[in-house]
């Protein structure tokens, strides 16, 4: 397949293999890759061995393996590369989660490997003798039972690609309250210009993000309260004020996190919002840059938030 043809392939395919250990999933996947073009196999065991040198991980590491699998799969699908997810995938919740995660990126298909328990045990015993990978019978039985239950609830029919619901559903607010705009500092109103984001002692030397400052100016002129809500520790309040004075930023409230509170920005800002802003102001919109915070405003609190920069950190 030429690169030109690949680019014309608008919707990539995701093939999810389903079956207990020893059912032939990996054998199928590896053969499939030799006979089909523009396909990549994503396998949890490969990630386990590559990153940790073992296939038996505790929950802490398994969670990270899941993130690696998801990130790799999405990146490949976005590049219009077809993907085979080669793992047991027998649980109904696992199937539903994968559909929810990947449905906006690809047409999804399934291939189920459903063999009798004794045949699976025999195959796994043979594999253990060859490569030393032991899987107890009770583990195999667990997956067989999971698959039996899943087949009763799910038909494994192909699922065409579909975009997720994007309708904005905003929380109801009291329109009689003072109207306000909430704005973040680091990466939003101020540009760090090489400064350590965790040390704001020299933040007065930050650069001004002029388009954001202009939005605040226009909102202020329209009578909005300007609330600056920052994840900076309040020990940096004085240099922060000097920055705001330097650029003549007209604001009504400057709220910063407490010193030595190292929780996630999204947690801190939600807590501050609920304690000091909610019920006191009608929030017209927010300006922020960090994904986790933007998602919190939008998804958890139902507030309109405009993301002013890339914020995957």
- Confidence band, pLDDT 50/70/90 cuts, at residue 7: very low
Q: Where in the chain is the domain with CATH 3.40.50.1000?
A: 179-307
> Which single residue is written with the structure tokens 């583990």?
139
For 87, residues 6+ apart whose C-beta sits below 8 A from its C-beta are 17, 25, 43, 44, 45, 69
Average pLDDT of the segment spanning 157-169: 79
| pLDDT confidence bin for 3, thresholds 50/70/90 | very low
Residues 221-247 have a mean pLDDT of 96
Q: So what's the pLDDT on residue 40?
A: 96
| Banded pLDDT at 55 (limits 50, 70, 90) | low
CATH architecture, domain 11-153? 3-Layer(aba) Sandwich (3.40)
Mean pLDDT of the chain: 90
Q: Is 154 exposed, middle or buried (0-12, 13-18, 19+ CB in 10 A)?
A: middle
DSSP string, 79-145: TT-EEEEES---SHHHHHHHHHHHTTTSEEEEEEE---HHHHHHHHHHHHHHH-----HHHHHHHHH
Q: What is the pLDDT of residue 46?
A: 84
How buried is 41 (Cβ within 10 angstroms: 0-12 exposed, 13-18 middle, 19+ buried)?
middle
d(CA 115, CA 133): 20
Range with the largest mean pLDDT of 153-157, 164-168, 197-201: 153-157
- pLDDT attached to residue 58: 67
Give 97-125 pLDDT, tens digit per residue.
999 899 999 999 999 999 999 999 999 99
Domain span(s) for CATH 3.40.50.300 in the chain: 11-153
- For residues 41 and 229, what is the distance between their CA atoms, to the nearest angstrom? 45
Of all residues in the chain, what percent carry a pLDDT higher than 90?
A: 72
Longest Cα separation, the chain: 77
pLDDT at 2 over 70: no
Identify which of 77, 12, 11 has the alpha carbon closest to the alpha carbon of residue 42: 77
pLDDT band at 31 (very low <50, low <70, confident <90, very high): very high
Residue 237 structure tokens: 């309040």
Cα 313 to the chain's mean position, in Å? Answer: 11
Residue 252 vs residues 83, 166, 229: alpha-carbon distances, Å:
52, 33, 11
Q: Could you tell me which residue, 294 or 48, shows the higher pLDDT? A: 294
Whole-angstrom distance, CA of residue 14 vs CA of residue 30? 15
Tell me what pLDDT residue 66 has.
87
| Predicted TM-score (pTM) above 0.75 | no
Q: Is the pLDDT score of 313 beyond 60?
A: no
179-307: which CATH architecture?
A: 3-Layer(aba) Sandwich (3.40)
Mind listing the pLDDT tens digit for each residue in 171-204?
999 999 999 999 999 999 999 988 998 899 999 9
Q: How far apart are CA 112 and CA 170, in angstroms?
A: 41
Give residue-wise pLDDT tens across range 254-297: 999 999 888 888 999 999 999 999 999 999 999 999 999 999 99
Q: Is the pLDDT of residue 56 over 70?
A: no
Least confident segment among 63-67, 190-194, 218-222, 272-276: 63-67
pLDDT computed for residue 57 by the predictor = 61
């Amino acid at each position: 397949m030429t690169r030109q043809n690949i680019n014309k392939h608008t919707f990539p395919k995701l093939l999810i293999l389903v079956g207990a250990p020893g059912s032939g999933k990996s054998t199928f996947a590896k053969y499939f890759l030799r006979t089909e073009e523009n396909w990549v196999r994503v396998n949890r065991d490969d990630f386990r061995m590559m990153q940790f040198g073992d296939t038996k991980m505790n929950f802490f590491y398994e969670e990270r393996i899941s993130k690696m699998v998801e990130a790799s799969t999405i990146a490949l699908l976005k590049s219009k590369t077809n993907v085979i997810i080669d793992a047991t995938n027998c649980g109904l919740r696992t199937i539903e989660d994968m559909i929810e995660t990947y449905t906006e990126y690809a047409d999804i298909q399934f291939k189920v490997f459903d063999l009798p328990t004794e045949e699976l045990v025999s195959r796994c015993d043979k594999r253990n003798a060859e490569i030393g990978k032991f899987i107890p019978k009770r583990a195999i039985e667990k997956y067989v039972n999971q698959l039996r239950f899943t087949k009763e609830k799910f038909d494994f029919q192909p699922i065409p690609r579909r975009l997720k619901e994007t309708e904005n559903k905003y929380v109801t607010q009291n329109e009689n309250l003072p109207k306000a705009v909430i704005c973040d500092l680091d990466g939003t109103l101020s540009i760090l210009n090489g400064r350590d984001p965790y040390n704001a002692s020299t933040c007065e030397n930050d650069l001004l993000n002029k388009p954001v400052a202009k939005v605040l100016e226009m909102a202020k002129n329209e009578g909005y309260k300007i609330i600056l809500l920052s994840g900076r520790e309040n020990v940096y309040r004085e240099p922060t004020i000097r920055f705001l004075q330097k650029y003549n930023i007209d604001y009504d409230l400057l709220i910063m996190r407490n010193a030595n509170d190292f929780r996630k920005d999204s947690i801190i800002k939600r807590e501050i919002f609920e304690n000091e802003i909610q019920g006191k102001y009608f929030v017209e919109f927010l300006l922020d840059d960090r994904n986790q915070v933007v998602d919190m405003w939008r998804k958890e609190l139902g507030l309109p938030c405009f993301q002013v920069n890339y914020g995957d950190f």
